[in-house]
Structure 1
Amino acid sequence: MSTERIADAVKFAYWVPNVSGGLVTSTIEQRTGWDYEYNKKLAQTAENNGFEYALSQVRYEASYGAEFQHESTSFSLALLLATERLKVIAAVHPGLWQPAVLAKLGATADHLSNGRFAVNVVSGWFKDEFTHLGEPWLEHDERYRRSAEFLQVLRKIWTEDDVDFRGDFYRIHDFTLKPKPLNTPERPNPELFQGGNSSAAQENAGRYSDWYFSNGKDFAGVTEQLDNLRRVARDHQREVKFGLNGFIIARDTEKEARDTLREIIEKANKPAVEGFKGAVQQAGNSTGDKKGMWADSTFEDLVQYNDGFKTQLIGTPEQVAERIVAYRRRGVDLILGGFLHFQEDIEYFGARVLPLVRELEAAESNDQQLVASH
């Protein structure tokens, strides 16, 4: 169990399906669209069903079942303008973006959305997206060193004037951004997220980002990552929040939920999953400690791109809610949910699962207060 800060209430985000093929590489029916009209309605549904964040994916060309892709920053801004409260996180690749240019875009998006734009810095797993665009494909830890500089430059440009930065990857000379984002000293906007599973990813997040995004993990995996992340953050007098990916299958009965999972895996698009496996596992296994993303993922795990089945948010509303609260107890601040049929599954989650989560959180809080008062 966590011995450090535990969130009063876990937050919820969802994967924006701005890429075709849904969130599982399977021929199972997915009543989910990748077009803007579907996603506009979905974003409005999500913010009215307890979701505070949405994460727009980044893919630049067809790959592994994702034939079509909408660009993440422009799609995020469109969703922000269609909603009132939802915070939308755009995934971006250092190496394909110049950080000062993204900082300018982010400041504008922040003003247009009244402070609801955020960025997820993705160091990159898909080599072809770089080489097909004539960009170098760096070794794993070098990609994370570049991301570290990228995060630092974004933060400095958003919060300082006359910025100078002399790094190995980026050079900024006496640059001042105006207008800056709608930030406060306590929590500069936009929020910065850093994804990854490796020690290099945790080092970056602990030093430079507001949030760390993890692939799907069981309780032991989450505890290991949180311990390391918090150690790094403490060493730099910082605190970082933790987001966990999970594919959510909540149904009226456990059998129905498990049958859905079984059908997803049985109908997996095997060539696409195997191709994805070959592309991503070199990333995890290329790290010194062999703990990078997807390093230990099985074929079944990879049917969901980001190991979402491992989190085991599968079952009745009661079972899913209890497991979410158990993750919160271990220090998870946010659940990033993927779904099979996004529109209807998010409505079901908001009506049937989220109220139970809040009830369980309130009960635990009351118990803690009683213990403290004796």
Structure 2
Amino acid sequence: MMTHRNTLKFAYWVPNVSGGLVVSTIEQRTDWSYDYNVKLAQTAEKNGFDYALTQIRFTAGYGAENQHESVSFSHALLAKTEKLKVIAAILPGPWKPALAAKQLATIDYLTEGRIAVNVVSGWFKGEFDAIGEEWPEHDERYVRSEEFIKTLKGIWTQDNFSFQGKYYTFNNYTLKPKPIQKPTIEVFQGGSSRAARDMASRVSDWYFTNGNTVEEIKKQIDDIKEKAKQHNHEVKIGVNAFIIARDTEEEAQAVLQEIIHKANIEAVHAFGDATKEAGAASKEGEGNWAKSSFEDLVQYNDGFKTNLIGTPQQIAQRIIDLKHVGVDLILSGFLHFIEEIEYFGKHVLPLVRELEEQ
């Protein structure tokens, strides 16, 4: 019998940023407003979703003309839900670990342990330039993020915490009250590069990777798990996927083709140019988006590549295939969030749970 611990987890991207999840002029019945997001969070909670991930953006671009700040927005959604855990995205640089640790510990206390954090190393150079923040070279950004995570966990678990790093220093610092969650608030991170995977294998609780084929995802997972063993550490894996579930495969594929056909070509190319400074900037050229085509970039995090596009039965089986190679969580994007999460909860998730029992 499956235990809750062994079941796949599901998360969705919170549209706290305008423009939806695809860089396309196709109709997206998704809104970045608070009222829409409250209804969406409550819908997701009722339909079997475990997590919601808020986005962090400081500047407009690629259709994201408006952005609500991630941590305060996460707290606002938590206040309107009962079980959902919300993952707040935070950027080292604009955030310092002392502030983040205290901010998140307070939210954890107020929500009885339902906050998590996604430490984003920062791919968008233009954003850092606009707000006057340093944008170190690729691998160095992960050095900073690793220190950020180490100091968060140290502050949350130790009294008189001291740390001497390249980017952060603490001297006998004690935070009280500490978070309710034990051992700490869950820490997520993203990336596909060597530096990102190595950091995950040492310090992160969860590793998010961009969408990809089962075979390529397996390679990443096997690599991370092996490295984590060497550090006596365990890390769980989340995979990005843009889900198009329809009654027939033809309907689902037609939606995909319409999204791509109506792509905002100028915005996609601008996004592609910016990502080259991030993914391809890794030493081995294997970071996020390093091998993404124009069609892939229409969905911000290569969500089409995961191929959760088709009938409920097709999607459920592909989700199980991902589980079999070590995926623990599906991070989902949708075209029309509320109605499609309802459809997913009614038609896809029950099939996934049935297949997990087999």
Query: 2:208 — aligned with what?
Result: 213
Query: Residues 27-69 of structure 1, C-alpha deviation per residue, up to 9 Å, x if partnerless?
Result: 0000001000000010000010000000000111101110000
Establish whether residue 231 from structure 1 lines up as the match of residue 229 from structure 2: no
- Pick one of 84, 87, 90 that aligns with 1:89: 87
Find the counterpart in structure 2 of residue 200 from structure 1: 195
Contact 2:163 2:171 in 1 (8 A): yes
Q: CA deviation at 1:189?
A: 3.1
Please state whether the residue corresponding to 2:208 is helix, strand or coil.
Answer: strand
2:324 is equivalent to residue 326 of structure 1 = no
- 1 CA distance for matches of 2:277 and 2:295? 18
Which of 323, 327, 336 aligns to 2:331? It is 336
CA distance in 2 between counterparts of 1:338 and 1:171 reads 38
Partner residue, 1:316: 311
Give the C-alpha shift of residue 83 in structure 1.
Answer: 0.3
State TM-score, norm by structure 2. 0.98
In structure 2, distance between residues paired with 1:312 and 1:327: 11
Q: Which amino acid is 1:89 matched to? A: I
Q: Percent identity?
A: 61
Unaligned runs of 5+ in 1: 1-6, 364-374
Q: Does 1:24 align with 2:28?
A: no
Alignment of 1:204-353 (within 5 A): 204-353=199-348
Residue 69 of structure 1 corresponds to which residue in structure 2? Answer: 67
Q: Could you say what secondary structure the match of 1:337 adopts?
A: strand
Aligned ranges for residues 66-145 of structure 1 at < 5 Å?
66-145=64-143
Encode CA deviations 1:128-160: one digit per residue, 9 max, x unaligned: 211111111110001010001000000000010
2:242–2:306 contact (8 Å) kept in structure 1: yes
1:183 positional shift: 2.6
Give, in angstroms, the shift of residue 277 of structure 1. Answer: 0.2
Secondary structure at the aligned position of 1:213 is classed as: strand
How far apart in 2 are the matches of 1:68 and 1:286?
28
1:139-218 aligned at under 5 Å gives the runs 139-184=137-182, 188-218=183-213
Aligned equivalents of 1:11 and 1:351: distance in 2?
16
d(CA) in 1 for partners of 2:287, 2:94: 22
Quote the Cα distance in structure 1 between the aligned partners of 2:95 and 2:168. 11
Aligned residues of 1:115 and 1:189 also touching (Cα < 8 A): no
Deviation at 1:240? 0.5
Unaligned 5+ segments in structure 2 are none
Q: State the alpha-carbon separation in 1 of the partners of residues 240 and 321 from structure 2.
A: 15
Where does residue 54 of structure 1 map in the other structure?
A: 52
Quote the residue 1:369 is aligned against: none
Structure-to-structure mapping, 1:8-19, within 5 angstroms: 8-19=6-17
Q: Hey, what's the Cα distance between the residues in 2 that align with 1:98 and 1:309?
A: 34
Distance 2:268 2:90 in 1: 23
Amino acid at match of 1:110: D
User: Equivalents in 2 of 1:199, 1:295: separation in Å?
Assistant: 12
Mean CA deviation greater in 85-94 or 283-292: 283-292
Q: Which residue of 10, 22, 32 corresponds with 1:34?
A: 32
Deviation per CA, 1:144-190, whole angstroms, max 9, x where unpaired?
Answer: 10001000000000010101110000011111000000033xxx231
Q: Secondary structure at the match of 1:82?
A: coil
Letter in structure 2 aligned against 1:55: L
AA matched with 1:14: Y
Q: Distance in 1 between matches of 2:132 and 2:224?
A: 34
Whether the 8 Å CA contact 2:192–2:288 is kept in 1: the answer is: yes
SS of equivalent residue, structure 1 residue 283:
coil
* 2:20 aligned counterpart, secondary structure: coil
Distance between the aligned counterparts of 1:241 and 1:340, measured in 2? 27
Q: How many residues align?
A: 355
Q: 1:8: how far off?
A: 2.4
Give per-residue Cα distances to partners, 1:190-214, cap 9 Å, x unaligned. Answer: 1000110101111111100100000
TM superposition score normalised by structure 1: 0.94
Give secondary structure in 2 for the equivalent of 1:284: coil
